Amino acid sequence: MDWNKLLSTKRLGMEDWTSSGKSEDRTQFQRDYDRIIFSSPFRRMQNKTQVFPLPEHIFVHNRLTHSLEVASVGRSLGNLLAEKLVSEIPENPLAPEIGTIVSTACLAHDLGNPPFGHSGEAAISNFFEKGAGNEFQSLLTTGEWKDFTHFDGNANAFRILTHQFNGKRPGGFALTYSTLASIVKYPYESVQAKKPKFGFFQSEKEDYKKIAKQLGIESKPDIPDLFCRHPLVFLVEAADDICYQIMDLEDAFKLGILSYKQTKNLYLGFYNPETDRKQIENIEATLKRVTDKNEQISYLRAGVIGKLIYESTRIYTENQNEILLGGFNGSLIGAMQNQQEEAMNTVKEI
């Protein structure tokens, strides 16, 4: 894949549109960001829980606050990559915009999740597979039926963003091709899925194929409809993984599920006592100045997020050639080693 094709301002449903040439107050990717922020599907996420159901405390995350935080981390990851690409492809005026593309995709990554998260997905699937919805099977193709019986919030997010709902304009949100491709974590249809995770329903399959062709996203050898990921998907996924794991610890502490000592030790587990000795000393000095326990945990959490951002960027940079060839398997967080790997595995287990 080629960055000069992967970065595109072409919009779904507005392929024939051309700029007026006037000076713009926002870039095309900033317009994408604003369209998500001001949309009803985005606002509705405030009533969808992230992990802890029906919490009594307003500071516990919901899908909306989670998405805003993921977008913040994603912007940092994207900006770090942009700094590298600006020197590698100085002729591409869109390279500096990578941070905006990634943060926009992060805002949208959970738009399609039903209430109650994965339990909601299972309920919808079960309704069609074993419930009253079973009567519709004879009316659908194999692929369409599997879309319902293996309902996936990722595919639903792509549908919300691209589908022309009644009375709406073609292309749904009419986002840029690059932004849309960056949210498709599983770039294949349900019939190609080895587990109940896929990126688009049959109704949006042709839209994704059109986007992939325009951006030069290759399909896997011998499997025409099993595509490689757009490279920026890895950054969106890393931002989500970082926030999902690291922020949950802070929520658990505030809810009284984890003690202060447990939470502090889990965060400090990301620092190597030998190579990070100076950092640990600075952290302990700050904790002595800040006496509020909640503020101390927030400070520790912020430090770990920053550490993981730079570690993810390092892993991405080292594997960029393989990523562009479509040969990098797994996630950036999953590729971490040594201290970071051990600490993250401990957090996941908790």
CA–CA separation, 44 and 42 (whole Å): 5
Percent with pLDDT over 70 in the chain: 95
Question: What pLDDT score does 162 carry?
Answer: 95
Q: What is the mean pLDDT of the chain?
A: 90
Q: Give the lowest-confidence range in 57-61, 141-145, 267-271, 295-299.
A: 57-61
Average of pLDDT values for 243-266?
A: 91
CATH of region 233-349, choose from 1.10.3410.10, 1.10.645.10, 3.90.25.10, 3.30.70.20:
1.10.3410.10
Tokens of 261: 């000592």
Contacts of 111 (CB under 8 A, 6+ apart): 36, 41, 42, 45, 156, 157, 160, 161
Percent with pLDDT over 90 in the chain: 70
298, pLDDT greater than 90: yes
Q: What is the pLDDT of residues 187-236, one digit of tens each?
A: 999 998 877 799 999 999 999 999 999 999 988 777 778 999 999 999 99
94, pLDDT greater than 70: yes
Q: How confident is residue 90, by pLDDT bands cut at 50, 70 and 90? A: confident
Higher pLDDT pick, 23 / 186: 186
CA–CA separation, 294 and 285 (whole Å): 16
Are 267 and 248 a contacting pair, CB within 8 Å? no
Question: What pLDDT score does 258 carry?
Answer: 94
21, pLDDT greater than 60: no
Are 192 and 223 a contacting pair, CB within 8 Å? yes
Q: How confident is residue 58, by pLDDT bands cut at 50, 70 and 90? A: low
Higher pLDDT pick, 20 / 120: 120
Average of pLDDT values for 267-286?
A: 92
Region of 13 on the Ramachandran plot (φ > 0 left; ψ -120 to 50 alpha; else beta)? left
Higher pLDDT pick, 109 / 61: 109
316 vs 57, 97, 203, 237, 342, CA distance in Å?
Answer: 37, 18, 33, 12, 19
Average of pLDDT values for 289-306?
A: 94
Average of pLDDT values for 131-154?
A: 95
Amino acid at 238: A
Are 346 and 253 a contacting pair, CB within 8 Å? no
| In the chain, domain spans | 233-349
Average of pLDDT values for 98-105?
A: 97
DSSP assignment of 228-273: PPPTTHHHHHHHHHHHHHHHHHHHHHHTTSS-HHHHHHHHHTTS-T
**Nearest to 227, CA basis, from 202, 247, 198, 249:** 198
Question: What pLDDT score does 169 carry?
Answer: 84
17, pLDDT greater than 80: no
